[in-house]
Amino acid sequence: MIEHRASHSPALSFRDVSSGYRGREVLHGVSFTVAEGEFVSLIGPNGCGKSTLLKTAAALIRPVSGSVSLFGRPAERLKAADRASLVGVVPQKIESPMAFRVGELVMNGRISSIGLFGRPGAADEDIVERAMIYTDVLALRDRYFMELSGGEQQRVALAMVLAQEPRIIMLDESIAHLDINHRQEVLQILLNINREQRITVMLVSHDLTLSAQLSDRLLLLDNGTLAADGTPQEVLRPELLSRIYNCELQVRTDPWSGELQVSGDLVTGRRRKALDRRIHVVAGGGSGIELYRRLLIEGYEVTTGVLNKLDSDAEAARALHLDAVLEQPFSAIGSACYREASVMAGAADMVVVTDVPFGSGNLVNLSLASEALSAGKPVFLAEGIGSRDYTEGNAAGRKTDELLADGAVTWSSIHELLVHLQKSFQSR
Amino acid sequence: METTRICADNRFTLRSPERGRLKLFLFLLAVPLLCALSLLLGPSGIGIPDMSQPAGSSIMALRFGRMLMGLVVGAALSASGMVFQALLRNPLAEPYVLGVSGGAGLGATVSILAGSSLALPLNLPVTAFVSAVITLMVVYGIASQGAGGSPSVYSLILSGVIVSSICSSMIMFLVSTASVEGLHNVIWWMLGNLQPVSGQQQVFSSALVLLGITGIWLLSTRLNALTLGREMAHYQGINAGAVIVVGLLWATLLAATAVSMAGMIGFVGLIVPHVMRAMFGPDHRRLVPLASLGGGTFLVICDALARTVLAPVEIPVGVVTAVAGGPFFLVILQRRMKHAWN
């Protein structure tokens, strides 16, 4: 599958493009080039900027800085009709509030080439018919578009874009709604037009395994930056994916086909449920909410404290039914609460400290960590506690250094922490 | 195997080309017949008046003038409503939705109450027209604020409704402080009537309406694409922002011209496009001329009824459009709505 059919003339190139919506930049300095005839998949977690990238490529959004070019011409200066003859986009979903029939809708693909004064001629009818045969929607020609099923609508949308005869087709998660036989069919169509007509294809997809099978190349987006760009073997590395998707992922090579398969880790998750592993979390100011959630999903028992009442972490702990020690709102942690928390942390297997800002009021929470260390329990400190230190004389920073010297481990992402936890439970 | 599949796929197929063509033929036949019928109706009696008498020929000229007014005004309202419904992707849109009526009404009220309309016959229509266009620009300007120059349809509709309400409040205030005679004039203007305006204005207005409908017809494939939304239209090589602005301008021009000729006639611009869409499908290449013809003919018939039913008393045509057209169109829409909107 991985053969470079592509010539070297660029179809789409981004040069240091930053782009986004009013007041919110989504893409930050993205650069890449897709050569004509390539089949590329754009992957990445939800909200990483895949759709924004497509919209920028199709000149729906103007880049804040940097430049986009389509077949060597600057995208934003292309005339609308010229642009449509170069790039076609199949969106996630098409809404047609008026009762257009499938045939009328597919004819929309010819609009820009017909022009303002022309009428569709026999050649246009032929192109439309061919596109409809290709996507197996000819039999639906006289049906109302909106009464079709989601998969049929997607095929009609593809027919409409094929009728546009663009040189690069971009699909925004358009195959997600298709059932398996039509998904195979649509993908086969895409592969065919890619191979026979040298139409460049850019597929936005959530299905990593499928993307790997189809594509010459994968572009992996993470938080608006390009995290990886290369062949599926180069991009689909478990440690890279696990970091970017922030969860444990495995990449296997299928023994028969040699294809890469990406999968999560639900099986071990089901086994882990029975385990009785308790973790005490020192958090505050909202730094613990996501951590609580992830620890609970992974099957750990979670306790937390000392928190101040009304703190957002205290609210989250209450909502998630966590055992928590709560001090009065906006007051320093008193000795009674500390003793209670100390007992609670003593009952846990490990202690985790988030990157909560420390001040004189909650500094004492760090002592929970040193108690745990001296009791021989693993302690995990979030990176950057020293930089959020509001105590006098950098007391929290110094305390963290002591803890690290005594064997505490630092973590920077929740996924990394979960790996640490897993390892140290296994080693016990 | 293959045949069963095709049958299954075609089970909702309703169109047979012959039936469609027959419907079109019947409609095109009905238009001149109904217009001719309107020439036979009037407060002076039903039938062709004695043309040898000067009174008879002037009655005929009067009826003919009103028929032309009805055609032009009805076509303008219907085409304008159709464009608003397509651009705003909303079945509730009508010619007056973006404040055209409010603005025109306010302008006309000021003009009538200031008495200037009596001194200069062209003044009232001109004032109504100018204030309608100004109102649209204000509405568009408000809706564009914070939208980066391209307002969403929701902000357009909302600001249109708000500006309309402000205008109506000001009209009510002006009316409440007006003399009895002024009040009467304002109310009559608002009810709408097809009394022929001055010849000069008639020619000018008809030219504007013809221009507007032609302009819209040229946009018809673009309107088709825009019903799929701005984003999809952009991907298909259409300059969506420009089409929306130009479309709104044409539609406002038509509505404002109609208002300046005949006052506020409701219902035509909202319902006729729906009915024509339900009968002949939403493809604007066909819909633009059909909706214009349909709106014009409908208004001609309504006006003929208005001056005949309670003769010699004349019912305001705006009353007849809803009362007579409502039940008729309701039946059509109830049966065929799914052929127009989803």
Residue A222 has pLDDT above 50, yes or no: yes
Is residue B154 less than 8 Å (CB to CB) from chain A? no
CA distance A192 to chain B (A): 22
Is residue B239 less than 8 Å (CB to CB) from chain A? yes
Where residue B11 falls among pLDDT bands split at 50, 70, 90? Answer: very low
DSSP state of B251: H
- Chain A hits for B4, CB-CB cut-off 8 Å, are none
Of B10, B232, B341, the CB nearest to A97: B341
Handedness of CA A318, A322, A325, A331 (dihedral sign): negative
Average confidence (pLDDT) over A29-37: 93
CA distance B6 to chain A (A): 6
- Contact between chains at A117 and B218 (C-beta distance less than 8 A): yes
Model confidence over A303-333: pLDDT tens digits?
Answer: 998 999 989 999 899 888 888 999 999 889 9
Average confidence (pLDDT) over B243-252: 90
Looking at residue B253, what is its pLDDT? 87
- Chain B hits for A114, CB-CB cut-off 8 Å, are 221
DSSP state of B307: H
Of B89, B234, B281, the CB nearest to A97: B89
Of B12, B221, B341, the CB nearest to A143: B12
CA distance B165 to chain A (A): 28
**Cα-flanking dihedrals φ and ψ of residue B40, to 5°?**
-90, -10
Residue B169 has pLDDT above 90, yes or no: yes
CA distance A149 to chain B (A): 12
A200 or B197, which is more confident: A200
CA distance A107 to chain B (A): 10
Is residue B16 less than 8 Å (CB to CB) from chain A? no
- Chain A hits for B341, CB-CB cut-off 8 Å, are 97-99
Which part of chain A is CATH 3.40.50.300? Answer: 10-263
Residue B144 has pLDDT above 80, yes or no: yes
Looking at residue A350, what is its pLDDT? 92
Residue B196 has pLDDT above 90, yes or no: no
- Contact between chains at A143 and B227 (C-beta distance less than 8 A): no
Average confidence (pLDDT) over B178-191: 82
Model confidence over B282-303: pLDDT tens digits?
Answer: 999 999 999 999 999 999 999 9
- Contact between chains at A98 and B277 (C-beta distance less than 8 A): yes
Residue A337 has pLDDT above 80, yes or no: yes
Lookup result for tokens 């939705």: B97
Choose the mutation target among A52, A76, A98 for the interface with B, i.e. most B CBs under 10 Å: A98
Residue A6 has pLDDT above 50, yes or no: no
Residue in B with minimal Cα distance to A161? B236
Chains A, B: CB contacts within 8 A come to 109
- Contact between chains at A97 and B13 (C-beta distance less than 8 A): no
Classify burial at A367, counting beta carbons within 10 Å of its beta carbon; exposed 0-12, middle 13-18, buried 19 or more: middle
The domain over range A10-263 is classified in CATH as 3.40.50.300: yes
CA distance B5 to chain A (A): 9
Where residue A270 falls among pLDDT bands split at 50, 70, 90? Answer: low
**Among A159-168, A188-197, A266-275, A399-408, whose mean pLDDT is lowest?**
A266-275
Of A96, A109, A142, the CB nearest to B227: A96
Domain boundaries, chain B: 19-35+53-339
CA distance B136 to chain A (A): 25
Average confidence (pLDDT) over A379-394: 87
Looking at residue A128, what is its pLDDT? 92
- Contact between chains at B232 and A139 (C-beta distance less than 8 A): no
Which superfamily does CATH assign the domain made up of A269-427 to? NAD(P)-binding Rossmann-like Domain (3.40.50.720)
DSSP state of B341: B
Looking at residue B119, what is its pLDDT? 55
Average confidence (pLDDT) over B314-336: 82
The domain over range B19-35+53-339 is classified in CATH as 1.10.3470.10: yes
Average confidence (pLDDT) over B160-172: 91
Of A83, A88, A142, the CB nearest to B15: A142
The beta-strand segments (E) located in chain B are none
pTM of the predicted model, to two decimals? 0.79
- Chain B hits for A144, CB-CB cut-off 8 Å, are 12, 338, 342
- For residue B79, what are the CA distances in angstroms to A207, A299, B25, B118, B267? 47, 64, 21, 31, 13
A144 contacts: CB under 8 Å, gap ≥ 6: A99, A100, A101, A102, B12, B338, B342
Asked if A31 and A16 count as a contact pair (C-beta separation under 8 A), the reply is yes
Residue in A with minimal Cα distance to B8? A139
Residue B334 has pLDDT above 70, yes or no: yes
CA distance B234 to chain A (A): 7
Average confidence (pLDDT) over A117-131: 86
Where residue B50 falls among pLDDT bands split at 50, 70, 90? Answer: confident
Is residue A140 less than 8 Å (CB to CB) from chain B? yes
- Stretch (H or E) spanning B127: helix B123-144
- Contact between chains at A101 and B10 (C-beta distance less than 8 A): no
Looking at residue B311, what is its pLDDT? 75
Is residue A95 less than 8 Å (CB to CB) from chain B? yes
CA distance A112 to chain B (A): 5
Model confidence over B84-130: pLDDT tens digits?
Answer: 999 988 888 888 878 888 888 888 888 888 765 455 555 677 788 88
Is residue B63 less than 8 Å (CB to CB) from chain A? no
- Contact between chains at A108 and B9 (C-beta distance less than 8 A): no
Choose the mutation target among B16, B231, B235 for the interface with A, i.e. most A CBs under 10 Å: B235
- Contact between chains at A101 and B338 (C-beta distance less than 8 A): no
Where residue A353 falls among pLDDT bands split at 50, 70, 90? Answer: very high
B171 or A269, which is more confident: B171
Whether cis (ω within 30° of 0) applies to the bond prior to B153 is no
Residue in B with minimal Cα distance to A91? B232
**Among A64-73, A188-197, B109-118, whose mean pLDDT is lowest?**
B109-118
Torsion angle, CA of B201/B206/B207/B209, rounded to 10 degrees? 130
Where residue A3 falls among pLDDT bands split at 50, 70, 90? Answer: very low
- Chain B hits for A142, CB-CB cut-off 8 Å, are 10, 13-15
Residue A64 has pLDDT above 80, yes or no: yes
Residue B8 has pLDDT above 60, yes or no: no
Which part of chain A is CATH 3.40.50.720? Answer: 269-427
Residue in B with minimal Cα distance to A78? B237
Residue in B with minimal Cα distance to A82? B237
